[in-house]
Amino acid sequence: MENTSNLFGTYVYPEPQFVRGAGVLLFDAEGRDFLDFSSGIAVNSLGHAHPHLVNALKQQAENLWHTSNLFAVPGREVLADRLCQNSFADKVFFTNSGAEALECAIKTARHYHFDKGDVEKINILTFEGAFHGRTLATIAAGGNQQYLEGFGPKSQGFIQLPFGDMDAVDAAVDEFTAGILIEPIMGEGGIREHSSEFLRHLRQLCDEHDIVLIYDEVQTGIARTGKLFAYQWSGVEPDIMALAKGLGGGFPMGACLARETVAVSMVPGTHGSTFGGNPLAMAVANAVLDIVLEDGFLDHVGKMSGRLKQYLAEFLDSYPDLFEEIRGEGLLLGLKCKIPNSEIAVALREAGVLVVPAGDNVIRLLPPLIISEDELGETHQRMDRAFVLLAGK
């Protein structure tokens, strides 16, 4: 079929087209509602059109949109302070996306060694199945051949190792190793979780060999897994961490967090961004944190996670020909499918539930973290309707 759109052909959009969102629901032009278990890929952490976020954005929009990093923005210090107060980090650089947060993380790790005179320490160890973004450096970090092919020489200094293979990591560490980059739970790669043991082992290696441990929490961060950051499940802290998706609640932004010891060489002139830390983004992210840091918020995520896992376990029992495994933490859950995950996603969409396919033939269930028990009940019914039809085929 001829592509008559003026858009790049990088995406193929399905019907329906959404015109409005409210809480957990999205509405199409005909007014049909869909339970949004995609959350814009783990972005709309507080659902659609959350009043506190809408107010924060409106108020900021009436005052000041943009001054660039030529000048300080008050909300920026506050947000950085809150992120540091609630994590391992001492320093923050704000970006506009996840990939840019990773670029900053990679640059910071390499520059740390450069500044100490270890100019040959440039290699970053990463893991097969990882996803770190679509810039030239982050496709090299992810190592997915499909994303690399046709885009010129692969950016140097990224070495992919098999998932969860401690021996492979031990063997790969040498005098050129600058950092280890890892998602505590792989999102795009199919909700595959690295064990606490594995992360502890990485931490030990990094300490022994002066290597920078970098977590990519772009998808897992900001309460998605039931802790503010996924690394808090293991207690194994990184030296650098990339955030984005849920942090802006739908406003495009990201952040690179770091320990002072690692960020110390990032002085004027080493890195920059025209839009990073924009007043609008700062206002919205501060509003997101107002809610996520409230007492009881993480408990709510944990409770809803328990209920959703219960439903998924039922589906696993009732539809053994469709599903084989439940994965994930909090409200970053996956169902490993026995038929193509895209077929399941389409059937669910037709039943009024939006999910996201992931690698390893998994469908991801990423509802807004504010979802209620009743909404989960309604989702269960709609999903069951879809699965009855699929299993009857």
Ligand X SMILES: *Cc1c(COP(=O)(O)O)cnc(C)c1O
Nearer to ligand X, 101 or 301 (CB): 101
Please tell me the distance from the alpha carbon of residue 289 to that of residue 268, in angstroms, as a whole number.
Answer: 28
Residue 391 Cβ vs ligand X, minimum distance, rounded to whole Å: 31
Q: Encoding tokens for residue 19?
A: 């015109």
Please tell me the distance from the alpha carbon of residue 331 to that of residue 357, in angstroms, as a whole number.
Answer: 15
Please tell me the distance from the alpha carbon of residue 216 to that of residue 332, in angstroms, as a whole number.
Answer: 15
Query: Count residues contacting ligand X (CB under 6 A)?
Result: 15
Nearer to ligand X, 80 or 253 (CB): 253
Please tell me the distance from the alpha carbon of residue 297 to that of residue 316, in angstroms, as a whole number.
Answer: 28
Please tell me the distance from the alpha carbon of residue 334 to that of residue 220, in angstroms, as a whole number.
Answer: 13
Nearer to ligand X, 102 or 285 (CB): 102
Residue 387 known to be catalytic: no
Interaction mask 174-193, ligand X, x per CB under 6 A:
---------x---xx-----
Nearer to ligand X, 99 or 240 (CB): 99
Please tell me the distance from the alpha carbon of residue 386 to that of residue 391, in angstroms, as a whole number.
Answer: 9
Residue 6 Cβ vs ligand X, minimum distance, rounded to whole Å: 22
* Residue selected from 46, 79, 99, 354 as contacting ligand X according to rule CB under 6 A: 99
* Residue selected from 39, 97, 126, 341 as contacting ligand X according to rule CB under 6 A: 97
| Residue partners of 243: CB distance under 8 A and separation at least 6 | 83, 98, 101, 217, 218, 221, 222, 254, 255, 256, 257
Residue 188 Cβ vs ligand X, minimum distance, rounded to whole Å: 6
Please tell me the distance from the alpha carbon of residue 160 to that of residue 144, in angstroms, as a whole number.
Answer: 10
DSSP β-ladder status, 158-161 and 177-182? unpaired
Nearer to ligand X, 219 or 361 (CB): 219
| 8 Å CB contact between 246 and 222 | yes
Nearer to ligand X, 188 or 239 (CB): 188
Residue 220 Cβ vs ligand X, minimum distance, rounded to whole Å: 7
Residue 252 Cβ vs ligand X, minimum distance, rounded to whole Å: 7
The reply to whether 336 sits near ligand X by the rule CB under 6 A is no
Nearer to ligand X, 38 or 219 (CB): 219
- Measured over the CA atoms of residue 162, residue 167, residue 171 and residue 175, the dihedral's sign is positive
Q: Using only the alpha carbons of the chain, give its radius of gyration.
A: 21
| 8 Å CB contact between 220 and 185 | yes
CB neighbours of residue 112 within 10 Å: 25
Residue 44 Cβ vs ligand X, minimum distance, rounded to whole Å: 14
Nearest to 72 by CA among 42, 98, 94, 90: 94
* Residue selected from 23, 47, 75, 98 as contacting ligand X according to rule CB under 6 A: 98
Nearer to ligand X, 322 or 362 (CB): 362
With CB atoms as reference, the residue minimizing the distance to ligand X is 98
CB neighbours of residue 365 within 10 Å: 27
Catalytic residue among 36, 91, 121, 216: 216
Please tell me the distance from the alpha carbon of residue 69 to that of residue 150, in angstroms, as a whole number.
Answer: 35
Query: In the sheet where 25-28 sits, what is the strand order?
Result: 18-22, 25-28, 33-36, 353-354
Catalytic residue among 127, 245, 323, 336: 245
Residue 374 known to be catalytic: no
Residue 8 Cβ vs ligand X, minimum distance, rounded to whole Å: 15
Interaction mask 126-145, ligand X, x per CB under 6 A:
-----xxx------------
Tell me the CB-side half-sphere exposure of residue 197, using CA atoms within 13 A.
Answer: 3
Residue 314 Cβ vs ligand X, minimum distance, rounded to whole Å: 28
Residue 90 known to be catalytic: no
**Segment 207-266, which members bind ligand X (CB under 6 A)?**
216, 218-219, 244-245
Catalytic residue among 131, 158, 323, 387: 131
Binding residues (CB under 6 A) for ligand X: these are 97-99, 102, 131-133, 183, 187-188, 216, 218-219, 244-245
Residues acting as catalytic residues = 131, 216, 245
